[in-house]
């Protein structure tokens, strides 16, 4: 019995670590005192420029770019290279990125989505997605296939509240999504029953 409890605990730790917030303004080396004779590494943060922020995000989300880590907040894409240096890219001011991982039995807590670390349960599954705003206007109504990471990536209008309904394999879920600056970009709380 203790062995099962330990195994479940280790699995929970692994899942939480896989979707940890990859944002860091300073590297671990900057937060710890260097040992005598060691050089202290510094993380650099630069502002990135791209003409296709959506394409760049899609490349990270679909595992087309694998040599860096990427996470996304309500305001920016943060790309971290192997040396811990960060490049920040501004997101559109009128659209909000949200990544949704519907699930049957397994999920994880998450606020800001790790494009290169979060893993959802339902991989490569066709999900019927319906979204409407508070005025009852249909924003999205289509069948979407979840990515290799088990998520569905969507761009929604900013500063609004939405009702979302999803159906897969006879199971469904409905919930709310909001797209304000303080909102997270990772939705892992929609259990299909």
Query: What letters, b where the CB count within 10 A reaches 16 and e where it falls short, cover 149-159?
Result: bbbbbbbbebe
Structure confidence at residue 2 (pLDDT): 45
Structure confidence at residue 49 (pLDDT): 86
What sign does the CA torsion over 88, 114, 53, 138 have?
negative
Q: How crowded is the C-beta side of 107, counted as CA atoms within 13 Å?
A: 17
Rounded Cα–Cα distance for residues 158 and 179 (Å): 5
**Torsion-angle region of 165 (φ positive above 0: left; ψ -120 to 50: alpha; else: beta):** beta
Residue whose structure tokens are 């009702």: 163
List of E strands, 36-151: 45-47, 69-72, 76-80, 86-90, 95-100, 113-114, 126-133, 138-145
Rounded Cα–Cα distance for residues 109 and 103 (Å): 12
Rounded Cα–Cα distance for residues 134 and 124 (Å): 30
Structure confidence at residue 75 (pLDDT): 97
* Ordered DSSP codes for 119-183: --S--S-EEEEEEEETTS-EEEEEEEE--TTS-EEEEEESS-EEEEEEEETTEEEEEEEE-STTS
What sign does the CA torsion over 53, 54, 59, 61 have?
positive
Q: Tell me the average confidence (pLDDT) per consecutive run of 10 residues in the chain, 193 residues long.
A: 42 46 38 45 79 94 85 97 95 97 96 95 98 97 97 98 97 98 97 98
Rounded Cα–Cα distance for residues 129 and 43 (Å): 40
- 3-state SS, residue 29: helix
Structure confidence at residue 23 (pLDDT): 40
């Amino acid at each position: 019995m203790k062995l099962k409890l330990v195994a479940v605990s280790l699995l929970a730790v692994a899942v939480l670590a896989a979707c940890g917030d990859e944002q860091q303004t300073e590297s671990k080396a900057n937060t710890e005192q260097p040992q005598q004779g060691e050089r202290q590494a510094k993380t650099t943060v630069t502002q990135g420029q791209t003409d296709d922020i959506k394409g760049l995000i899609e490349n990270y989300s679909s595992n087309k770019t694998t040599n860096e880590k990427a996470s996304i907040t309500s305001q920016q894409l943060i790309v971290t290279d192997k040396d811990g240096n960060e490049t920040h890219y501004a997101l559109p001011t009128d659209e909000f990125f949200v990544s949704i991982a519907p699930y049957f039995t397994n999920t994880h807590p998450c606020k800001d989505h790790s494009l290169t670390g979060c893993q959802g349960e339902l991989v490569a599954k066709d999900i019927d997605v319906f979204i409407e705003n508070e005025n009852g206007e249909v924003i999205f109504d289509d069948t979407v296939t979840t990515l290799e990471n088990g998520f569905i990536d969507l761009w929604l209008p900013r500063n609004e509240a939405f009702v979302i309904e999803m159906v897969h394999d006879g199971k469904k879920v409905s919930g709310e999504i909001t797209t304000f600056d303080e909102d997270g970009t990772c939705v892992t709380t929609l259990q299909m029953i």
